[in-house]
Chain A
Amino acid sequence: MAASDTMAPAARESDRERAADYLLKRHRYGWAEALPWLIAIAAFFIFPDRMTFGSQVLVMVMFALSLDLILGYAGIVTLGHAAFFGVGAYTVGLAAARLQWTEPISGLFAAAIAAAIVGFITGWFLLRYRGLTLLMLTLATAIMLQETGNLRSDISGGYDGLPGLTFKPLLGVFDYDLYGHTYYLYALMVLAVVFFFVRRIVYSPFGQALTGIRENVRRMHAIGSPVHWRLVTVYTIAAAIAGVAGALFTQTNAYVTLTVFDFDNSAKVMVMLILGGTGRLYGAFVGATVYMVLEDYFSKLSPTFWQFGIGLVLVLAVLFAPRGLLGLIEKIGSHFTRRKRS
């Protein structure tokens, strides 16, 4: 098709404008993006007695968001993401239990830094590998950290954990309350800040380069991209965010045990993300919320067989929404707009 051979300069000019316009506007916020935040605020007023659960959901959204950065955008497949969640959770837990460092916000920063350091070091070695090798190595990393904690159970508290942690009031004013209202709003604000950063990264040239690595790593090498360095960078950032999520987990629960490093935790966050949809930021919100609410509902319905319900939903999701729930919504949406046009 050599349509442009005969195309008038005016038509080509409009094609240029259209393409430029798309790129110039793509990163702008849309109205629909306010929706998850409005729902989160509405939930605060509608379910005032479920705020501890609500905080757990927000923590998992953040955890899934950090995974989206590396899995959805950079295409790094990992089964050891709980390692960083755990490092963050234990940074705050150990600081409170052993060092009496109980100020919550500085605790988040400490957790981010500790997880980032672990992410940088392990990423530097592991991200030379891909596929199944990488899967096994990330899995092994989380297990090794867990076993290190188990080895020094005198410090970590082992699988009994560090119970009954207390933290200072937020900003010295807002104290922990029985219904978890303070911590819900606290977690929501931290999530908003983290999300703002992640969204900037995703739409930046660096974020584009990550998508390039996911799409075709050979081409990235050929155009001169320092691929390994880019992967280590994003892995470190994602580790830091997972660390913050872990720290919030410890702070909202007031306890932490070595189960945060479980394979189960790594697998669960990946399932949540895939359920919501990878590489689209809001997949983390949808996936984590739907998974947690279903888990909560099914476990009340049948305390022994609840996992069957979750399993069934996942099978259905894989069959009918292979690109996640958001992918499914998109597909239905485009189906309707096409019908309207024709």
Chain B
Amino acid sequence: MTPALQVEGLNRAFGALPVTRDVNLMLERGARRALIGPNGAGKTTLVNLITGVLKPHSGRVLLDGDDITSTTQAERARRGLARTFQINQLFRGLTVIENLCMTIGERDGHSNNMWRSAGSRRVVIDEALDHLDSLRLTDDALKLIRELPYGRQRLVEIAIALAQKPRVLLLDEPAAGVPSSESHLILDVVAALDPDIAVLIIEHDMDVVFRFAKEITVLVQGAVFTQGTPSEIMNNQQVRAVYLGQESHRGARHG
């Protein structure tokens, strides 16, 4: 079976600094893979290369077997590659429901229409409300994004990505910036994602990684250090040395 997403020999440098070095990565359909690595390992850069925000200097990205390396970010999104951002990227001056309707409109091509009113498609509104329902955001539907607490904004970030009906979903630290008392809400949503979607999650919290992921890729200084199942990674002495060894201070920070 063709993998949902395949990354082959990806390279990218910022000036003289190589940030992505010969990365190979594969997501099967329905994959649950975590991407971990110390700060500055190039995790977000890799997501930006996969989604087309950045162009690689060499290498290929394949979505369902199609080479998408030369396509724009928007084209990749329309082909079913969705992402969330490490820092919220929402329409802050619009309501939650409008954020969702906008996404559905662009997905289905309604947004080319200049004549019908945006509110005239009941199907779009109902679908947007269904997405909000499933993330328990319905009672916030008419609030402006900027009026929401950060944790709820994080949920909208995920709701938008899901409203794109993606085949591949890249989650860049979905619980970042959320107080730990609320982060379980977001992690429950992540755990309950549609099993057909291939998911790549960047996450620092090792509990989440080991609970959620079936495969783990460790990125160090832009290159794939090792890959394996959670138990393989946990028992890998080198990984413990370069990455998990830092857990002591990280644990302290999270309290």
Contact string, A201-235, partner B, CB cutoff 8 A, digits 1/0?
A: 10111111101100110111111111100100000
A319 touches B (CB below 8 Å): no
A18 touches B (CB below 8 Å): yes
Chain B residues closer than 8 Å to A219, beta-carbon distance = 89-91, 160
Q: How far is the CA of A232 from the CA of B147 in the complex (A)?
A: 32
Chain A residues closer than 8 Å to B113, beta-carbon distance = 204-206
| Given A208-B101, A216-B89, A221-B73; A16-B138 close (CB under 8 Å) | yes
A10 touches B (CB below 8 Å): no
Chain-B contact segment, one of A19-27, A40-48, A57-65, A140-148: A19-27
Chain A residues closer than 8 Å to B90, beta-carbon distance = 216, 219
Chain-A contact segment, one of B1-9, B121-129, B194-202: B121-129
Name the interface size band of chain B. 35 or more
Q: How far is the CA of A7 from the CA of B133 in the complex (A)?
A: 12
Task: Name the residue of chain B whose CB is nearest to the CB of A212.
Answer: B102
Assess the A225–B111 pair: CB atoms within 8 A.
Answer: yes
Q: How far is the CA of A4 from the CA of B101 in the complex (A)?
A: 21
B115 touches A (CB below 8 Å): yes
Contact string, A14-56, partner B, CB cutoff 8 A, digits 1/0?
A: 0110111011111100000000000000000000000000000
Q: How far is the CA of A209 from the CA of B119 in the complex (A)?
A: 13
Partner of B122, one of A12, A24, A203, A208: A24
A171 touches B (CB below 8 Å): no
Min CB distance B125 to A, Å, is 5
B88-129: which have CB < 8 Å to A?
A: 89-95, 97-98, 101-103, 105-107, 110-120, 122, 125-126, 129
Q: How far is the CA of A12 from the CA of B136 in the complex (A)?
A: 10
Chain B residues closer than 8 Å to A226, beta-carbon distance = 74
Known pairs A203-B119, A225-B74. 17 more at Cβ < 8 A? Answer: A1-B152, A19-B141, A23-B101, A23-B125, A204-B114, A205-B111, A205-B113, A208-B118, A209-B106, A215-B91, A215-B94, A216-B91, A221-B53, A223-B160, A224-B74, A224-B107, A225-B111
Min CB distance B91 to A, Å, is 4
Which A residues have a C-beta under 8 Å from some C-beta of B?
A: 1-5, 7, 11-12, 15-16, 18-20, 22-27, 200-201, 203-209, 211-212, 215-216, 218-227, 230
| Given A18-B142, A222-B89, A224-B164; A205-B110 close (CB under 8 Å) | yes
Contact string, B167-184, partner A, CB cutoff 8 A, digits 1/0?
A: 000000000000000000
Chain A residues closer than 8 Å to B107, beta-carbon distance = 223-224
| Given A24-B125, A211-B91; A223-B103 close (CB under 8 Å) | yes
Q: How far is the CA of A220 from the CA of B89 in the complex (A)?
A: 9
Chain B residues closer than 8 Å to A205, beta-carbon distance = 105, 110-113, 116, 118
| Given A12-B138, A223-B103, A224-B164; A212-B91 close (CB under 8 Å) | yes
| Given A3-B139, A208-B105; A216-B92 close (CB under 8 Å) | yes
Chain A residues closer than 8 Å to B106, beta-carbon distance = 209, 220, 223-225
Assess the A208–B93 pair: CB atoms within 8 A.
Answer: no
Min CB distance B103 to A, Å, is 5
Chain B residues closer than 8 Å to A208, beta-carbon distance = 98, 101-102, 105, 111, 118
Assess the B97–A19 pair: CB atoms within 8 A.
Answer: yes
- Please list 5 pairs of residues, one from A and one from B, whose beta carbons are closer than 8 Å in the complex, sorted by A's number: A16-B138, A19-B142, A24-B122, A204-B113, A206-B112
Partner of A12, one of B53, B77, B133: B133
Q: How far is the CA of A206 from the CA of B109 in the complex (A)?
A: 10
Q: How far is the CA of A220 from the CA of B164 in the complex (A)?
A: 12
B185 touches A (CB below 8 Å): yes
Chain B residues closer than 8 Å to A23, beta-carbon distance = 97-98, 101, 118-119, 125
Q: How far is the CA of A313 from the CA of B75 in the complex (A)?
A: 48
| Residue of B82, B103, B106, B160 most packed against chain A (CB within 10 A) | B106
| Given A1-B149, A23-B119; A12-B139 close (CB under 8 Å) | yes
| Given A1-B149, A4-B138; A222-B73 close (CB under 8 Å) | yes
Min CB distance B142 to A, Å, is 5
Chain A residues closer than 8 Å to B122, beta-carbon distance = 20, 24
Min CB distance A279 to B, Å, is 9
Chain A residues closer than 8 Å to B120, beta-carbon distance = 24, 27
Chain A residues closer than 8 Å to B111, beta-carbon distance = 205-206, 208-209, 225, 230
Contact string, B67-91, partner A, CB cutoff 8 A, digits 1/0?
A: 0000011111110001101000111
Task: Name the residue of chain A whose CB is nearest to the CB of B110.
Answer: A205
Closest 8 CB pairs of A and B: A224-B77, A19-B141, A215-B91, A27-B117, A224-B78, A23-B119, A209-B111, A206-B114
Q: How far is the CA of A5 from the CA of B133 in the complex (A)?
A: 11
Assess the A16–B185 pair: CB atoms within 8 A.
Answer: no
Chain B residues closer than 8 Å to A218, beta-carbon distance = 85, 89
Task: Name the residue of chain B whose CB is nearest to the CB of A201.
Answer: B114
Min CB distance A9 to B, Å, is 11
Chain B residues closer than 8 Å to A24, beta-carbon distance = 119-120, 122, 125
Contact string, B137-153, partner A, CB cutoff 8 A, digits 1/0?
A: 11101100000010010
B51 touches A (CB below 8 Å): yes
Partner of B119, one of A1, A15, A26: A26
Assess the A4–B89 pair: CB atoms within 8 A.
Answer: no
Q: How far is the CA of A11 from the CA of B103 in the complex (A)?
A: 26
